[in-house]
Amino acid sequence: MSSTLTPVRPAADTAAPPRRRPWTLSKTAVNGALVLATLYTLLPLGWLLTASAKNTADLIGGRSLGAGNFHLGQNLHDLATTGDGIYFRWYLNSLLYAGIGALLCALICVGAGYAFHVYGFPGKEKLFGVVLLGVLVPTTALALPMYLLASQLHIVNTYWAVLLPSLVNPFGVYLARVFCAGYLPGETLEAARMDGASELRIFWSIGLKMVMPGFVTIFLFQFTAIWNNFFLPLVMLSDNRLFPVSLGLYTWNAQTHAFPEYYPLVVTGSLLAILPLVIAFVLLQRHWKAGMTAGSVK
């Protein structure tokens, strides 16, 4: 960016030639460093991809993959049949927890963020301060007391035990308020009020529509958070038919010492478990970048 501007500064404390050299060098250096960083992030995923096509012997023996020992189909078949197809039940559970949880959570967050942005009421900023403090509470420190509370209410080991805590995301409320400030012109709401629309109607058919990009962003991040959550289901669930994928794979991995044939199941199951999120992040790039920007600027 500065190569055209460099001649402007005639004399520097250091001589010109040694300064120019790193400049020309760094084009390869910059992109080379980025390629190295990318290799670091992608190679473990590449290993997962090839490993999921290996059978137990090739996986443990560390043999490389070839056309002769391509067992992805066999692994998928084993995945579908082991434990009466429990893996895909876990998969559906994860979709349920993450899909419904993230949808409701995004709606709740946008509602609250919208209210914080649009209305004035006594103690508003104090209340918002409490919400922001909620961002700092370590969630795993809450999981144990939540488990004990849930066991008093007899909802331990039910879908509710995992779903209800997943609906709370103070950071989502903060993001929603930031998005409302960015996307909602006051005049539009005014016009709707003039037309006699009720406040809730305005939220539902105008506010929510205009902050839809923010809604999708919060949904995406919450979906990821629930899908990736391990501690909460570990604490709350003991019936393996209610497990999400993360917890199911954990219990299978614990068996690999005694039963090495679980290795390919864990590896192939892991690959399938990351596919939905990888696809979502590739397709919805605009939305997660928007979320990170809104979170970073303030």
Partner 1 sequence: MSGATSVPGGGTPAAARGGPAGTPAPRRRRAPFGAPVVLLAPFLLLFTACTLIPIGYAVYLSLFSERRSGLGFGGATTQVFTGLGNYARALGDAAFRDGFWNTAQYCLLYIPLMLGLSLAVALLLDSALARAKRFFQLALFLPHAVPGIIAALVWTYLYTPGISPVIDALNSTGAQVDVFGHPLPAIVNIAVWEWTGYNMVIFYAALQAIPREVLEAAVVDGAGPLRTAFSVKIPLIRASVVMVGLFTVIGSLQLFTEPVILHDVAPGVVSTWTPNMYAYSAAFERNDYGLAAASSVILALVAAALSFVVTRFTRGRDEKRAGKRTPKPTEHRTETAR
Instruction: Report the site for partner 1 in 208-227 (rule: CB under 8 A).
Output: 224, 227
- Number of Cβ within 10 Å of residue 88's Cβ equals 14
- Amino acid, single-letter form, for residue 65: L
Q: Which stretch binds partner 1 (CB under 8 A): 67-75, 84-92, 191-199, 209-217?
A: 191-199
CB-CB contact of 77 with 272 (8 Å): no
Q: Does residue 193 belong to the site contacting partner 1 (CB under 8 A)?
A: yes
From the CB of 241, what's the least distance to partner 1, in Å? 19
Task: Kindly state the tokens that stand for 51.
Answer: 């490993």
Q: Does residue 267 belong to the site contacting partner 1 (CB under 8 A)?
A: yes
Query: How many angstroms separate the CA atoms of 168 and 218, rounded?
Result: 12
- Amino acid, single-letter form, for residue 5: L
Q: Does residue 31 belong to the site contacting partner 1 (CB under 8 A)?
A: yes
CB nearer partner 1, residue 70 or residue 288: 288
Query: How many angstroms separate the CA atoms of 92 and 228, rounded?
Result: 14
Residues 83-122 that bind partner 1 (CB under 8 A): 108-109, 111-112, 114-122
From the CB of 187, what's the least distance to partner 1, in Å? 9
* Residue 193, CA atoms < 13 Å, CB-side half-sphere: 8
Choose, by CB under 8 A, the member of 71, 79, 162, 170 that binds partner 1: 170
Q: Does residue 259 belong to the site contacting partner 1 (CB under 8 A)?
A: no
Choose, by CB under 8 A, the member of 92, 127, 132, 212 that binds partner 1: 127
- Amino acid, single-letter form, for residue 285: Q
CB-CB contact of 233 with 243 (8 Å): yes
Beta strands in 175-229 (DSSP E): none
Contact string 4-23 vs partner 1 (x = CB under 8 A) = -xx-xx-xx------x---x
CB-CB contact of 117 with 184 (8 Å): yes
CB nearer partner 1, residue 70 or residue 231: 231
Q: Which stretch binds partner 1 (CB under 8 A): 70-78, 82-90, 209-217, 272-280?
A: 272-280
Choose, by CB under 8 A, the member of 17, 44, 68, 73 that binds partner 1: 44
Query: How many angstroms separate the CA atoms of 71 and 146, rounded?
Result: 43
